[in-house]
Amino acid sequence: MAEIATIARPYAEALFKAAGADAPAAAQWLDELAVIAGNEQLLQFADNPKVTTEQVFDVIVGVAKQTLPEMGRNFLRTVIENGRLAVLPEIARQFRSLMNAQQGRSDAVVYSAYDIDAAGLDELAGVLEKRFGRKLNLQVVLQPELIGGVRVVVGDEVLDASIKARLEQMRMALTA
Residue 6 has pLDDT above 90, yes or no: yes
pLDDT of 132: 92
Q: Mean pLDDT across the stretch 19-31? A: 95
Q: Of 155, 71, 63, 65, which is closest to residue 108 (Cα–Cα)?
A: 155
Q: Of 18, 38, 130, 146, which is closest to residue 93 (Cα–Cα)?
A: 38
Q: Of 82, 38, 26, 44, which is closest to residue 63 (Cα–Cα)?
A: 38
In whole angstroms, give the CA distance from residue 110 to residue 141: 6
- State the pTM of this model: 0.76
- Residue 71 Rama label (left phi>0; alpha psi -120 to 50; beta): alpha
Residue 5 has pLDDT above 70, yes or no: yes
In whole angstroms, give the CA distance from residue 36 to residue 83: 15
Residue 41 has pLDDT above 70, yes or no: yes
Give the model confidence (pLDDT) of 128-158 as tens digits.
999 999 999 999 999 999 999 999 999 889 9
What are the Cα distances from residue 124, in Å, to 111, 121, 131? 12, 5, 10
Query: Within the chain, where are the H helices?
Result: 2-19, 23-37, 40-47, 53-63, 70-81, 88-103, 118-132, 163-175
